[in-house]
Structure 1
């Protein structure tokens, strides 16, 4: 079966799959405005660092495309200065939707760079807008190809590492956290892409994935993707990671990233740090798989990564379909959704960070579409070769 998609591009509209309703209901939402794109990202109707950067860029491009067709044109197309003010305000607003994911910031900075270059070249507002539209679409187009590249790099690195240790490099078991597949990207995926690559090349025995509380991106989304791709898999509760490592042969933990600092410290979905500590205890390599755009060379280490604090209610409820399913279909035959409170009312405090930071010392390899970085003799990462800045 074909992989699931997070974004569907039509000639005159953009649609996203509402990930809040998965896996029980497939609902495509049309994104018509910048405000709708911002809301979809902030409320996690779409999530995954590459995917939210794609949606923001595509809606930005769509918004400008519609403006060029208006008669009379909007006032911000009257001069390069007016267009610059409008574009800057729009991109800054989109960035506020989810600030931890560096891909979104990278995309907005890239679009601002095109804006400045086009203005510097003395272009008319219409031509500047067309340059920005082309760049916005390009940001999305590039994602699928680079995902396949990094998945191949990471998969082949793992096979060689297993063979170095005396293994065959086949029948591999890989655990992952959260969701890093097609639903989190424009296709194929990052860490889940590595697992998919191993499956496609006959090297994988089984994928293991955590539920990833409190939002359950693993049990809702990764489970659905692996099932769709017919990849043998086993779900575990987050607190079972240590037990899994004690009693089963796990060859690697592969995770994605929302931001990677210059020294290799990595922010990823909450629970990744826990898994990394346990993997280190059991001698299991931890592989971070993410596009170059996720590497933030402007910050020295993980202490400079902003950590998004999610609304407390998200840690107090579980979402899903009412059970028994057959008795709870809506008028269209879809399984009805429910959010069930699992905590007492009025708790004094709820700690709900969306991400944690895994120190570089716990990471075995960092993989981008440009290659694999491992720690040198000094125990430190040099990310220049895998970011194209060498």
Structure 2
């Protein structure tokens, strides 16, 4: 998105945009330690599976780059064994921040693989650190390129799918859930990238996006990105999806993913399963757009995907700008956090994600192509796109 990205690293400074105060305030905060990176991911100051993986990787880059400049040299750079003993717990710690987002695990495993390969090669500690820095930067940098590839794959497939179903493929209305644009990735986006690609190709009618649970604020971030891209769009509450499908022509639902199981079952932001069920009822194609790193071939199906549950209090709170608007001394809109439920509820169910079964998914798109189910089958063979 022009002028606003989830992460920026310039010189010796690593910053993220604080998504907890968007869209009314744009605030970049510095990440100066592994602990701060972990907290930013866990507290959802940064969100979106690809962006989380990028921050974790760049946090290690920042940490090791600083270490190489220190005098005297830190003890963990004295030998390959000492460096391994230092880096391995860091990677393990970063992984614990958001367990459902498989991209985070893929990034930490990839960095660990680089560490092991460098150890086997007999390199000294500083050279191993430099290898890890290079790999960490690569993990972050390659995200935008693959996003553009998968967006084109998915957009072109949808145009042809509409033609196969008797449409013109010219003016397509697409619903998406949660934020999957440049604020959730390192650039361009996944499902929102598909919508952007259709817009750039002059084949998008309108983008529709759902307002999910208050704390997750996916729609607010999506609204910000679509507005900046000047894409015509409409926000709806997630309880209104059925009504939307009844009264408006929607050509597809496109969503991202935090983890895709081997059979195609997909974990994504809470509310995705609801949209998939309604899309199936109305015979609307349901498309998952996600990088290869989101596909977890070690997980057979959705039943084995760990689902993160957020603190119960988060489901009771909503944050936003005061209305009528009020401004602080810097000209920023003043914001407030309020409780929208009684304070003495008996129980609160607050999962961050749900799992959409493969049978409800029409197509899964990665940077390598589009997978669809074989005739008569309810699960996917993803071997061609991973």
TM-score (structure 1 length as normaliser) = 0.97
Instruction: State the 1:51 CA deviation.
Output: 0.2
Matches within 5 A, 1:211-230: 211-230=211-230
Give the superposed CA RMSD.
Answer: 0.9
Equivalenced residue count is 385
Instruction: State the 1:279 CA deviation.
Output: 0.3
2:301 counterpart residue number: 301
**Counterpart secondary structure, 1:184:** coil
CA, structure 1 residues 154+3, in 2 after alignment: closer, same or farther (shift >3 Å)? farther
In 1, the alpha carbon distance for the partners of 2:355 and 2:86 equals 35
2:382 counterpart residue number: 383
Instruction: State the 1:85 CA deviation.
Output: 1.2
Runs of 4+ in structure 1 deviating by more than 6 angstroms, as ranges, are none
Matches within 5 A, 1:167-316: 167-316=167-316
Instruction: State the 1:336 CA deviation.
Output: 1.3
2:60 counterpart residue number: 60
In 2, the alpha carbon distance for the partners of 1:125 and 1:219 equals 45
Long gaps (5+) in structure 1: none
Instruction: State the 1:378 CA deviation.
Output: 4.5
Long gaps (5+) in structure 2: none
2:127 counterpart residue number: 127
Instruction: State the 1:3 CA deviation.
Output: 6.0
Instruction: State the 1:223 CA deviation.
Output: 0.6
**Which one of the candidate residues 326, 345, 348 is aligned to 2:346?**
348
The answer to whether the 8 Å contact 1:3/1:188 transfers is: no
In 2, the alpha carbon distance for the partners of 1:122 and 1:16 equals 36
Q: Once the two structures are superposed, what CA deviation does each residue of 1:318-343 show, in whole Å capped at 9, x if it has no partner?
A: 11011111xx2112111111111011
The answer to whether the 8 Å contact 2:272/2:356 transfers is: yes
Instruction: State the 1:124 CA deviation.
Output: 0.3
TM-score (structure 2 length as normaliser) = 0.98
Instruction: State the 1:359 CA deviation.
Output: 0.2
2:28 is equivalent to residue 38 of structure 1: no
The answer to whether the 8 Å contact 1:262/1:300 transfers is: yes
Q: Once the two structures are superposed, what CA deviation does each residue of 1:254-302 show, in whole Å capped at 9, x if it has no partner?
A: 0000000000000000000000000000000100000000000001000
2:14 counterpart residue number: 14
In 2, the alpha carbon distance for the partners of 1:242 and 1:153 equals 28
In 2, the alpha carbon distance for the partners of 1:285 and 1:145 equals 25
Instruction: State the 1:4 CA deviation.
Output: 3.0
